[in-house]
Amino acid sequence: MRKYIPRAISLILVLSALGISAAVNSGEEPPRLPREPVYPGQAPADVSDTVLDARDLVMQRRYDEAERLLWKLTRSRPDDPTGPTALMVVLQIRMLENEENFLDAEMRRVIAINRSALEKFRQKAPRNAWYYTLVGASQGVEGIYHLWRDEYVPAGVRGYASIQSMKKALKVEPLNWEARLGLGVYMYYRSIYASKAPFLPDSMDRSKEGLREIELAGKKRLYLYETSRIALCRIHMDGKRWAEARKISDELIAQYPHFLIFYLFSARATFRAGNFRRALTYYEKAYRIDPSLPFAPYRMGVCNEKPGNLAEAARWFKIAAEAGAKRNPDKWGTKAQSRLEMLKAGNSQNP
């Protein structure tokens, strides 16, 4: 649970930072989230437009184009952290698709650029709602990545600074739903951790308030709807409420049938509930969206191995190993090759 929660928060916060999701364009009309200006009158119009354009490219999984657009913004505005913050979001989404930190070197480079831009931004930008929200998002996205990497000191420093900035953003603008969503997630998880300390009073439990803020953000800001639903889905998974989590992710799949990550949500919920046959259907659909990623076929091998379908398990482990051989580093392909060799040796175990 300890290692899973940072990944859950990671996905929630990187998506809430700029409202970016991932989908595949299969020849149909490219999927797009509702297009709302980012802090009109405060964020420069070209910055808002670039963020929204990049978001739509990411939705279509046109990552190279999105990154080129954001690098152009980063270089043209070296005193503005919007570009590198958005780049950190895109890189984390790409890594989350395969549950692997395979872009760490690129991420570290962008983190360094972001810190420089953030320092310049603080020196001259007006202290309005956009300022505090952007500073909070910029710090939070970096902090979450450190948390994912189990680098707790930098994660704690950046995370604390992010929360303080979001609180200031809310004081400047009480209806700042981006800040309220992020603070709602923080409030919920802080309450869950606090509940493990028996000496704390019940008044410390603000988990219901956190959930309410997350739900409201999705209703009040159109482009935060999916992010709000993602947050609730992952919160249910953290609480081992598998049916509730899968209900939400299935609804998201019905609305956005080409979003790879939503299939991974439903797959995880059913996998953790022990329903390997149903999990297989979700992993197979994720695999069809992007056969180059070895994570889904690796999990398909596991789902077949657990109930004893060893020949089918070996077939999928082989597919995962072949896909992983084209990647560097290769977490899931290596694991798949190890499982495949154990199966060949007649040593099937619960992986």
Give the pLDDT of residue 55.
82
Q: Are residues 29 and 140 in the same domain?
A: yes
Structural domain span for residue 309 = 291-351
Structural domain includes residue 262: no
Structural domain includes residue 304: yes
Structural domain includes residue 251: no
Type and span of the H or E element at 283: helix 276-289
Position with higher pLDDT, 179 vs 144 = 179
Instruction: Give the residue carrying structure tokens 């994570």.
Output: 295
Q: What is the pTM of this model?
A: 0.83
Has residue 6 got a pLDDT over 70?
no
- pLDDT, one tens digit per residue, over 240-252 is 999 999 999 999 8
Among 17, 39, 105, 117, which residue's Cα sits nearest to residue 77?
A: 117
- pLDDT, one tens digit per residue, over 83-136 is 999 999 999 888 888 988 899 999 999 999 999 999 999 999 999 999 999 999
Output the CA–CA distances (angstroms, integers) from residue 33 to 73, 200, 209, 236, 239, in the order listed: 21, 42, 27, 24, 28
> How many separate domains does the chain show?
2
Q: Are residues 148 and 297 in the same domain?
A: no
Structural domain includes residue 267: no
Has residue 351 got a pLDDT over 60?
no
